[in-house]
A and B are shown apart, each in its own frame.
Chain A
Amino acid sequence: MNDWSRALRVPADGSPALSEATFSGNRGLQIEEKLIFEQDAPGRCGVDLPEPPPFRARLGGLERQGPIGLPGLSEPQVVRHFTRLSQKNYAIDSGLYPLGSCSMKHNPRLNEKLARLPGLADIHPLQPLSTVPGALELIDTLAHWLKTLTGMPAVALSPAAGAHGELCGIMTVRAALEARGDPRRRVLVPESAHGTNPATAAACGYQVDAVPADPRGRVDRAALEAKLGPDVAALMLTNPNTCGLFEGEIIEIAAAVHRAGAFFYCDGANFNAIVGRVRPSDLGIDCMHLNLHKTFSTPHGGGGPGSGPVALAAALAPYAPLPWLVHGAHGIEAIEHKTGPAAAAIGRLKGFHGQMGMFVRALAYMMSHGSDGLRQVAEDAVLNANYLRAALGDNLSVPFPGPCMHEVLFDDRFLKDTGVTTLDFAKALIDEGFHPMTIYFPLIVHGAMLVEPTETESKAGLDEFAAVVKALAAAARAGDTARFRGAPALAPRRRLDETAAARKPVLRWRPAAG
């Protein structure tokens, strides 16, 4: 999940600049690396290509006139450059990555191998469908798994990411309302929601109406029901919610939403916590996106690509975006236009058919776990989070009563009067070799720290993390603020000046003047 950092102008603790300790600026395995543009030698090339035989150009006089400005590097330079860059990143492969709401779990390498099979990676979306029956079967199989796990009758697979899935879901809601001649104006979104929820509702032309939380960290049902009315198109609710808590009154909420003639959208970012134990259809949900890159472990890749299929109830299924796969007289058939059963489809949301490479990985993940393993995924994810909650609850501060689901939320009361902020605390974790948790989200508690260990962490790993967090909390209470204010001191960079970055944006490299 998202968080943001406040900028720090100077080293707050006056500690020595470690980079000055070596002649090169390097520090052992941390090697300073220039931009590719600063390693250029004109004419050098990392790919050997033949010169084409003579031909008569057909470009109509539109040839490029000047140079592009791209640097020339050999293959060894390129391999070394990107290897060095990779070593400046923290990753799941390096250690615990407890970003709440992001489900940073292990990414199995079998999935990578299968996604690269020529019969899946080297097929074109517009080659004759008669030449890709296996691809259609794979997509249909994925759809079957997703429909079974959610209990929903249909799933739209084309959305490219979670936020794209939200857009898809709210578009189908609006299409359904328009079809019944009942356009509505408002979408209810809890204050604890992901930022994409209000952004999506607003993008679809709805007025966003925020619903407060109750003292238990759940949506305030009375406030919610008071806001329901004939102009409400949908409720967008995350369950388990962004406080890591299950919305226990969800069935009653769904009923109230339906009584008001509205649709119930569920943000499925946290499906990880309940997969195999709860079917969204049994909760009264009409529409829910799934982040294949969260629950089903397709790699986050430094920020994408993702995939955001949307499970749809029968009332919304006719509006699912193109393309569709249907079971016809000749097996699995693709419908690529608004015809036949897809006549009411909202149209296309993306070029071609969706994130096939992610479908392969997600299906391999689901088949590896099976129905039994997926249920175990939810149980271990919830167990791990509650274990951390029990281990840390007395040292940190917990805003809401437990148990939690797959993630545990802390606030910053335990840092009161220490001079240490949530941001400082997170940065100190970096020096300890951990990626920080999600911070300052959700917005409904002060100085939030949202910790999601996921099911792929061992008990020993959790014990180690808990011991470090406890030690840091003790250090903060003991007044050791220097440890926090200057953190991180041991990462490839110390805190970045984000204020300067935004004030005079430098968004690309340019050659030095003269």
Chain B
Amino acid sequence: MRYLPLTEADRGAMLEAIGVASVDALFAEVPPAARLDGLLDLPRAQGEIEVERAIGGMAARNVAAGSAPFFVGAGAYRHHVPAAVDHLIQRGEFLTSYTPYQPEVSQGTLQYLFEFQTQVALLTGMEVANASLYDGATACAEAVMMANRVTGRKRAVLAGALHPHYREVCATYARFVGFELATPGPMPGEDEDLARLVDDGTSCVVVQSPDFWGELRDWSALARMCHDKGALLVVVVTEILSLGLVRPPGEMGADIVAAEGQSLGNALNFGGPYLGLFASRDKFVRHMPGRLVGETVDAEGRRGWALTLSTREQHIRRERATSNICTNSGLCALAFTIHLALLGEAGLVRLARLNHAAAVRLAERVERVHGVRLVNRTFFNELALRLPCPAAAVVEALAARGVLAGVPVSRLYPDRPELADLLLVAATETVTEGDIDRLAAGLAEALS
């Protein structure tokens, strides 16, 4: 087996050094009833060629986003990732190292995480960011639990325009961790009166920007309302690239920002691994979940970095930790950091403008298709369309014609017939004029 260095001669010599006759003696503590003598009913070892053929065969049965006009979004976005990103994250020193618990030999990881924390704080307009969480949805649930800790309250208001997966993850945590949720139903394109749901027992209000329907809103007034009642405002961002163009949550009074960072540096990957971004105000830092990297000096006074404030964390605090989280999304955070370092201020703004421009063109084209109505007044790179018939069938029909048209809202809200005609379509910098033509033509044909 190509990954196992021991030879039979090695094994023999080692058993002799240990003083046992066979490797079975090392497993003597296993109860006889639980010892497997033979091999399990699974295929035997295979070489690279065979494994590549088998898994490559599975891959070939899927329609890759890059092979079709592609407008699917709803919380995961297809962007171009510069070649340097994937090259650098595959350097073995990044790929095959552990969490930087030994800072003297982990300065590479620690320094990029410090850069990552700074980038996330700048983008979101917040004071401090952690070294990442699993994904946007779990970051959202962690934000609610943090707001509960900060305020000492146990009831959160989730906007109807929050991504349904994020709502569902919060609901799962709420049931088992023990807090309450107020969850008004989805009302695409309408203004939600969330302030009326805030009372003295509310820990936070969670909104999304751009919201699930793609709409942009100013949350400043809601932030003031929340703060008047002693509650926090949590802003979720599922398309982090929007912050290249749009006023950041930190400037609207957000107390916590929970975001999905996949758009920068990370592939679609059928839903994971992704990158949870988590930012907050300085004053709440000791309530934050997840790892934090801090600047310090070494014994010679040289600048360096180390994990810090770990007394919040499970390996020190055990059952009194702020979260049970241990692993983060280190390598995804590295990809994010490299992509954003390549873009810089000028590149990020231009990339965001390209996305918005593509979405504007998309909106202008599909609005002219008979029967299609744009739900949004505003948007960044994704918008909701109301069709004259169920969107799921239209999406299947277009897929059969080689166009991946977007996400039918019924995929996420199957129990709400009033949403069945809604289609979410996203346009990024990867979408061409020709792609938009094919989508518009396909819609016109499917609806005729």
Contacts and interface: CB of A to CB of B under 8 A. Distances in A.
A273 B34 CA distance: 14
B127 to A, nearest CB: 8
Contact of A51 (B15, B99, B328, B350): B350
A227 interface: no
Contacts of A441: 315
Interface string B249-267: 0010000000010000001
20 contacts: A5-B101, A19-B300, A45-B344, A46-B82, A62-B246, A75-B82, A79-B84, A119-B59, A125-B272, A196-B324, A198-B319, A346-B172, A350-B135, A353-B271, A369-B45, A372-B45, A380-B4, A456-B3, A461-B5, A508-B121
A44 B326 contact: no
B314 A199 contact: yes
A258 interface: no
A49 to B, nearest CB: 5
B169 A493 contact: no
Interface string B367-403: 0000000001111100000000000000110010000
Nearest to A114: B55
Contact of B96 (A107, A166, A377): A107
Contact of A367 (B43, B301, B357): B43
B99 A205 contact: no
A120 interface: yes
B48 A110 contact: yes
A349 interface: yes
B203 interface: no
B264 to A, nearest CB: 11
A321 interface: yes
Nearest to A436: B102
Contacts of A119: 56, 58-62, 64
B314 A163 contact: yes
By CB atoms of chain B within 10 A, which of A60, A70, A121, A459 has the most?
A70
B427 to A, nearest CB: 12
Contacts of B305: 496
B17 A390 contact: yes
B294 A507 contact: yes
B342 A53 contact: no
Interface string B287-328: 000011111111111101110111101111111110111111
B223 interface: no
A131 interface: yes
A327 interface: no
Given A124-B76, A204-B177, A371 B41 contact: yes
Interface string B18-30: 1110010111111
B385 to A, nearest CB: 14
A299 B89 CA distance: 11
B197 interface: no
Interface size on A, as a range, is: 35 or more
Interface of A is mostly: loop
B109 interface: yes
B399 A130 contact: yes
A492 B378 contact: no
Given A71-B344, A367-B43, A60 B270 contact: no
Contact of B324 (A18, A118, A167, A376): A167
Nearest to A158: B272
Contacts of B245: 59, 63-64
B341 interface: yes
Nearest to A491: B104
B182 interface: no
Given A60-B216, A497-B296, A55 B319 contact: no
A152 interface: no
A71 B165 contact: no
Interface in B82-133: 82, 84, 86-88, 90-109, 111-112, 114-115, 117-119, 121-123, 127-129, 131-132
B20 A126 contact: no
B442 interface: no
A277 B105 contact: no
B302 to A, nearest CB: 6
A256 interface: no
A383 B6 contact: yes
A419 interface: no
Interface string B263-287: 0000111111110000000000100
Q: Which 6 A-B pairs have the closest CB atoms?
A: A352-B271, A119-B59, A93-B92, A301-B331, A125-B271, A134-B61
A124 B114 contact: no
A508 B120 CA distance: 10
B67 interface: yes
B75 interface: yes
A371 B90 CA distance: 29
A226 interface: no
Contact of B91 (A83, A110, A123, A194): A83
Nearest to A10: B299
A306 interface: yes
Interface in A134-181: 134-135, 137-138, 141, 145, 148-149, 160-164, 166-167, 170-171, 174
A462 B156 CA distance: 54
A283 B399 CA distance: 48
Interface in A300-332: 300-307, 321-322
